[in-house]
Structure 1
Amino acid sequence: MPLPHDDFAAYAHAGLPHLLTTAHLLADAPGDPREATELTRRTLVRVCARWRRIPRGDTDFYVRRFLVKEYLRGARGRSRRAKTQRAVLVLLHGEGLREAEVAQLLGRSRGAVRSRARRGLAVHGGDAEHLRRLFAESAAGLVPPDVQLDAVEQRGRALRRRRTGAVAAVCALLLVPGAVFGADRFMGGGSTAGSGAGAADVARSPIRIVAPGERVDAVPGVQVWLTTDGKHWSTPKAQNLFLSLTGDGSESGYKYRHSYTKGDYGSDSQVGAESGKPTASVQPDPLNNTSYFLSGLYGGLSADPARVEVTVDDRRITGTVLTLAGSPGWGVWYARTSLSLQELKSGSGEGGPTVTVYDAAGKAVARGGVGE
């Protein structure tokens, strides 16, 4: 059941023990709950500040994401890698999440998560069951400290007011003659940034039904079109890219070249999905030397989505959807605003953007990222 907009205190109170336990496992500080308590407090302040913007059918995902990002905040280099590895182990063997769920939460590819998990597990003798027992024993001995939720709410509301004031200042600047040109760039091209937006009243994705082969000008310099076998698009840097679909709406056999970063994404990414299962993907394309176009494919749905939302760090952008007539259960989404390389890499764990597909009830029905 969707949660009302003013229920933060009830949610925080009910979820506090579990949140503290996860924070304790991340902090890895037996006998000293102060670090876990502070991590939990900072997380709840950020959650409270954004509470009205968090989709009510997907609350736990966003709260976990805030927690891990607070845990990783400020870490660099070797420390960042070690922390990310710890987060992967905790989420897999402490929380019991699947690799795909951890990848979506961290904004990493499943291969990257699998590699981190393998290396981390090797440190613990390669015994996953032993690690799960260690996590369980550590959690069992935790005495939950007192987190002052009243103070958390006050800090969260103050943070929300500051951000609302900053948005209002930007809007005022956009009213100045000559500043209108940048409106879409500043406002996120349909992002759900308005205060007071909840599951029922956030911006829905514009959905356009197109004919096979009908070319759509997504953003300047980029065209997107669909055929019955998948997604096609051309950018200033590459022409006639293609992502194929099987007849049931699942992705198959796609190879796409991109070069904005190395490592987890590589230079060639293979995208695939199990037949019939809801899936979503993200493909970042360079427009020039400084900005990137985001688009992707969703599939395996029983009906057209109500909203497709891409998340980059704390920024959420509502995508535009293209689909063929007859509600085939798959389609293409794209963002009408470009992003910089720094924005693309600023997500949790230096991962990339995450896309979430919601149905008419506000429930997340598919989620994915780069390499999904």
Structure 2
Amino acid sequence: MNRPSRPQSPTSEPEGLYEELHEAFAEAALDVTPSAVPIAAIERAGRRRRRRRTAAALGAACGVLLVPLAVVVLRADLSSGQGESERVTPPAASAGPTPSTSTELAGKVRIVTPGERVEVSPGTEIWLTEDGKHWSEPDHPTQFRSVSDGNLDLSSPGVSVQESTHDGVSFLSGIFHGPGEPARVEVRTVAGYIDGTALTLAGEPGWGVWYAEVKVPQSQTPTSDSLTAGVAEKVTVYDSAGGVIASQEFAT
């Protein structure tokens, strides 16, 4: 009895095929040149990551340190009675005038037009014309002192004075003449030094009028009105540089 024949095993053919493919892949791999490893880029990326980690760690540490400090400041404010909403307002600058010192040129000078009346005090006025000084006072007629009748020598510096007293206040005035533009009038009186005011016409006429008012103690108040009552002891007119334009002492 004949036995059926066993079919041939197919395993030998695939094994040969696998070996051929392996050899082919190996040859192909040998022909491939690997690219260079980006060492510099890797190092830069690593440094950036390390810096970010360091900055994050420092920020966290600073936050931990600042929290107790904020608590301490808040407690100090609360203990002193200051809340978070309290605001500190700087003191406002004073709106009042700054007191002048004795070294300042505190006098006044006013340029007026001919015939312009200047009120010195209620009821008392002074005005200038080209020929001299005019003034009026309560209960007194208008008075006049000329600069052109020859009574004043305008060729040399000088100061005149007229005085009157009402209710304990002495009104002092006069004519000054000399080279230069006036900037300050200083009057020495029996009650001390005071600053006077100068009136001049435009165009540098070479003369002007000064006036002042001073309250005199009862013991030194003149007993009658006169042209030289003795309240003014000396009058000096200065220019802007501190030079003397005219100065005159009066008998007391």
Using the size of structure 2 for normalisation, the TM-score is: 0.51
Distance 1:331 1:341 in 2: 31
- Alignment pair present for 1:239 and 2:117: no
1:274 and 2:177 correspond: no
Going from structure 1 to structure 2, the CA distance change for 1:363 and 1:341 (only over 3 Å counts) comes to: farther
2-structure distance, mates of 1:333, 1:226:
11
Cα displacement string for residues 114-154 of structure 1 (whole angstroms, at most 9, x for unaligned residues): xxxxxxxxxxxxxxxxxxxxxxxxxxxxxxxxxxxxxxxxx
1:298 paired residue number: 176
Do the aligned partners of 1:283 and 1:370 also contact (CA within 8 Å) in 2?
A: no
Q: Aligned residue for 1:322?
A: 199
Q: Residue deviations 1:208-246, cap 9 Å, x none?
A: 111111111111220101110000001113121111002
1:294·1:338 contact (CA, 8 Å) conserved in 2? no
For 2:208 and 2:182, the matched residues in 1 are separated by 9
Question: Which residue number in structure 1 is paired with residue 105 of structure 2?
Answer: 202
Distance 1:279-1:318 versus aligned 2 partners, 3 A rule: same
1:331 — aligned with what?
208
Q: Which amino acid aligns with 1:234?
A: S
1:57 is matched with: none
Does the alignment pair 1:222 with 2:124? yes
Whose helix proportion is higher, 1 or 2? 1
CA contact (8 A) 1:235 1:285 kept: no
After superposition, residues 1-372 of structure 1 pair within 5 angstroms as 195=101, 197-198=102-103, 201-203=104-106, 205-246=107-148, 252-253=150-151, 273-288=152-167, 290-299=168-177, 301-313=178-190, 315-339=192-216, 342-343=219-220, 351-353=230-232, 354-370=234-250
Q: Unaligned regions of 5+ residues in structure 1, if any?
A: 1-192, 254-272
Judge conservation of contact 2:164–2:172 (CA < 8 Å) in 1: yes
Alpha-carbon distance between aligned partners in 2 of 1:202 and 1:313, rounded to the nearest angstrom? 22
Distance 1:313 1:291, change over 3 A: closer
Kept in 2, the 8 Å contact 1:308–1:321? The answer is yes
**Which whole-Å CA distance do the structure 2 matches of 1:343 and 1:194 have between them?**
27
Q: What is the CA–CA distance in structure 2 between the aligned matches of 1:320 and 1:343, rounded to whole Å?
A: 23
User: Greater strand percent: which structure?
Assistant: 2
Unmatched 5+ stretches in structure 2: 1-98, 223-228
The answer to whether the 8 Å contact 1:213/1:226 transfers is yes
Q: Find the aligned partners of 2:189 and 2:150 in 1 and give their Cα distance.
A: 26
Instruction: Say if 1:326 and 1:342 are closer, same or farther in 2 by CA, change over 3 A.
Output: farther
Structure scoring higher RCO (CA < 8 A, sep ≥ 6) equals 1
Distance 1:244 1:286 in 2: 23
C-alpha contact (below 8 Å) 1:313/1:343 kept by paired residues: yes
Matched-pair contact (CA < 8 Å) for 1:209–1:323: yes
Return the alpha-carbon distance in structure 1 between the equivalents of residues 159 and 130 of structure 2: 17
User: Distance between the aligned counterparts of 1:312 and 1:344, measured in 2?
Assistant: 11
Q: 1:338 to 1:218 in 2, by over 3 A?
A: farther
The CA distance in 2 between the partners of 1:339 and 1:219, in whole Å, is: 16
Provide the identity percentage.
42
Displacement of 1:343: 4.2
SS of 2:194 mapped into structure 1: strand
Q: Is the 8 A contact 1:237 1:287 kept in 2?
A: no
